[in-house]
Structure 1
Amino acid sequence: MLISANALSRWRTDIIGLRQWTGFENRWLHLVRQHPVALDSAGFVAASRYNGFPWDVDDYLDLAASAPWL
């Protein structure tokens, strides 16, 4: 299975209605230990939807280190 990093994104809507990225959701990452799962960088989605990544490199590296991805 391939999971996009963007699928794990958490968002909130600010006071004027704009979506703000708040981090990666990690409550289900324990399932990665039970199934073969690869992590995708979400590069296409980030480029086409957000004009760049809403997270920084350290956020992505923390996500990559948080589970035993393929």
Structure 2
Amino acid sequence: MGEAKRRKTTDGEKYGQDPRILPWIPITKSQSELFVTWTTRGAWVGIGLMVTVWVTIRFIGPAFGWWEIVG
């Protein structure tokens, strides 16, 4: 008997389904990988926004005289 047939007989209904990270948590491995992908992308967007705001405040703001209003 081939490996796939053996797994199909031993796994039963669970054969071919995405395995869970932990048995008591209803999150599959593919869902966890998708979560990591989205959070990594979100972190990079946040870093980009933070740099944009910093450049605006640090260099562009004083050029327009904002420092005199704030300071």
Tell me the TM-score range normalised by the shorter chain. under 0.3
**Could you state the TM-score of these two structures normalised by the residue count of structure 1?**
0.23
**Structure ID, larger Rg:** 2
**Could you state the TM-score of these two structures normalised by the residue count of structure 2?**
0.23
Q: Highest relative contact order (Cα 8 Å, sep 6+), 1 or 2?
A: 1
The structure with the greater share of residues assigned to helix is: 2
